[in-house]
């Protein structure tokens, strides 16, 4: 083989590789889309993903396959997503823990949200709440609860895990109210609520959906939501500001991201498609029934939100000296 032939073959190979690289969104998608979810089947994140996945598949004209990769507080799924080809055929449903909290709490994780992911849209939000055991703390409002805790002295509060978003919501509450409280972590919101109802702890910070059955039975009392406005999920529950504590805002949320380097045209299309899907009345109703509220936004808005949340919770974690390693 002549030297000229070798050079020509190499040139053709490089040209072919360049042509196959994701330079734009033309012709997207060309195959099935993998939707990585870092929670096991059956949870709220998985359920919401399975609600919108078939609708997205219909709009894109290709299958959207939910791929559950739980474990490591989201690190396993995040690493897989971060190392996937940036061609729009792998998407990642990522929680606040993965995009905001893990990089603050852990010294070493195998991904960097800012470097490895391209934001597409916020998907849903769900406000955290403060709940009490009414037999231990018969407070009718956050204002009364704060007064009762100050009168009693050191008081325990429960959450769904050390370093969890609910734990941080409790720490922010404690800091804003100036209370002497200590954290008792449980393995999930369900066990935390069981402990609250059983009188093991007097106060718990969990997501709103975890309180539904016990709240209706009267075994626990939800005093306020950690949001600026009342939620359509439970409009009868006042905000913390209405109930006696300003600036206590803590939302559970998850959003859609793609591997960094995914063409901007694909990101824009996916954002537009998801915004349309999440605004469909039938999709919105099904998601609200899971205890979450659709909250689509633009890639730039989602990026700004992630950065804002990172700054906010970094301060809370530093002040509370929370460590998980």
pLDDT at 209: 81
pLDDT, tens only, 65-85: 999 999 998 999 999 999 999
- pTM for this one? 0.86
Instruction: Give me the pLDDT at residue 24, please.
Output: 63
Q: Work out the pLDDT band at 25, boundaries 50, 70, 90.
A: confident
User: How high is the mean pLDDT of the chain?
Assistant: 91
For 95-139, what is each residue's pLDDT tens digit?
999 999 999 999 899 999 999 999 999 999 998 999 999 999 999
Residue 310 burial by Cβ neighbours in a 10 Å radius (0-12, 13-18, 19+): middle
Contacts of 314 (CB under 8 A, 6+ apart): 104
What are phi and psi for residue 251, nearest 5 degrees?
-110, 140
Domains of the chain by start residue, with CATH: 32-125+252-320 (3.40.190.150), 127-243 (3.40.190.10)
SS3 118: strand
The rounded percent of the chain whose pLDDT value lies above 90 is 81
pLDDT over threshold 90, residue 15: no
pLDDT at 7: 39
The tens digit of pLDDT for each residue in 139-153 reads 999 999 999 999 998
């Amino acid at each position: 083989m002549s030297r000229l032939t070798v050079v020509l073959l190499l040139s053709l190979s490089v040209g072919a590789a360049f042509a196959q690289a994701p330079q734009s969104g033309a012709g997207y998608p060309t195959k099935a889309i993998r939707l990585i979810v870092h929670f096991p089947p059956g949870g709220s994140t998985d359920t919401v993903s399975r609600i919108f996945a078939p609708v997205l598949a219909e709009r894109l004209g290709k299958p959207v396959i939910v791929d559950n990769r739980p474990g490591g507080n989201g690190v396993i799924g995040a690493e897989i997503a971060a190392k996937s080809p940036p061609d729009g055929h792998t998407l990642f449903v990522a929680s606040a823990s993965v995009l905001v909290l893990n990089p603050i709490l852990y010294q070493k994780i195998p991904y960097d949200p800012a470097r490895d992911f391209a934001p597409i849209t916020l998907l849903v939000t769900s406000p955290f709440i403060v709940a009490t055991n009414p037999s231990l703390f018969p407070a009718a409002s956050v204002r009364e609860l704060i007064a009762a805790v100050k009168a009693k002295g050191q008081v325990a509060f429960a959450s769904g895990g050390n370093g969890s978003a609910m734990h941080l919501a409790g720490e922010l509450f404690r800091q804003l109210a100036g209370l002497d409280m200590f954290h008792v972590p449980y393995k999930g919101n369900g066990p935390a609520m069981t402990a609250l109802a059983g009188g093991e702890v007097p106060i718990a910070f969990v997501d709103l959906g975890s309180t539904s059955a016990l709240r209706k039975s009267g075994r626990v009392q939800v005093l306020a939501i950690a949001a600026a406005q009342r939620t359509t999920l439970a409009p009868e529950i006042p905000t913390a500001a209405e109930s006696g504590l300003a600036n206590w805002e803590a939302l559970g949320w998850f959003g859609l991201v793609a591997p960094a380097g995914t063409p901007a045209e694909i990101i824009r299309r996916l954002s537009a498609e998801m915004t349309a899907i999440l605004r469909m009345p039938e999709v919105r109703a099904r998601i609200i029934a899971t205890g979450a509220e659709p909250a689509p936004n633009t890639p730039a808005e989602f990026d700004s939100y992630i950065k804002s949340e990172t700054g906010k919770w970094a301060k809370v974690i530093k002040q509370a000296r929370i460590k998980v390693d």
